Amino acid sequence: MKSKIIKAPAAEAPAPTRAEAEEAVRTLLRWAGDNPERDGLLETPSRVVKAYQEYFRGYHDDPEAILQKTFEEIEGYDEMIVLRSIRFESHCEHHMAPIVGRAWVGYIPNGRVVGISKLARVVETYAKRLQIQEKMTSQIANTIDKVLNPQGVAVVIKAEHHCMTTRGVHKPGTDLVTSRMLGIFRDNAITRQEFLSMID
């Protein structure tokens, strides 16, 4: 009987340096047909790398840690809390094209609440990563559910994907709507409808 060979997991490659990232931009500029050494493009690699640091800063944030500070002096409040129309900008993981949209986040507390800015920060953290909208919707809802342990969580996202509005099928004005309902929002149709009625 042959013994099975188990391969050790590949070591994670070290992150490229800033200089390597800028050189990659120069390569793309040459590939596109331009000259990265001309005056108008000399500082473009540096600017692009700086922009990418902003676009993808969510990889350096911990969304669960954002929700750790909560408030329990709520006088028994147990009704729906909804933060509406949270604007975000993300990038699709298939084409690295912009995704621009808004999120509606609701939950029903179970003895404690979180500052509303923290809900917006959770959306922002997941948005500032390469994404597909379906995954982002679930990540936001699942994180709130895990950390706050509320009676229920509801998330709806509406967004325009430039990978299909400015390229490919070229359908501007089209948006994608996704939702994730947990707890009482999934189990109770009246509660779910109350949340959905708040979405513009």
Residues known to be catalytic: 92-95, 133, 161, 163
Pairing of β 176-183 and β 113-114: unpaired
Q: Are 114 and 130 in contact (CB under 8 A)?
A: no
Q: Are 98 and 120 in contact (CB under 8 A)?
A: no
Q: Are 157 and 101 in contact (CB under 8 A)?
A: yes
> Tokens for 36?
């990265």
Cα separation, 162 vs 164, in Å, equals 5
Which residue from 192, 182, 175, 187 is spatially nearest to 144, judged by alpha carbons? 182
> Tokens for 112?
């404690």
The helix/strand/coil state of 18 is helix
Work out the angle between the directed axes of helices 44-55 and 18-32 (0-180°, nearest 10): 110
Q: Are 128 and 90 in contact (CB under 8 A)?
A: yes
The helix/strand/coil state of 152 is strand
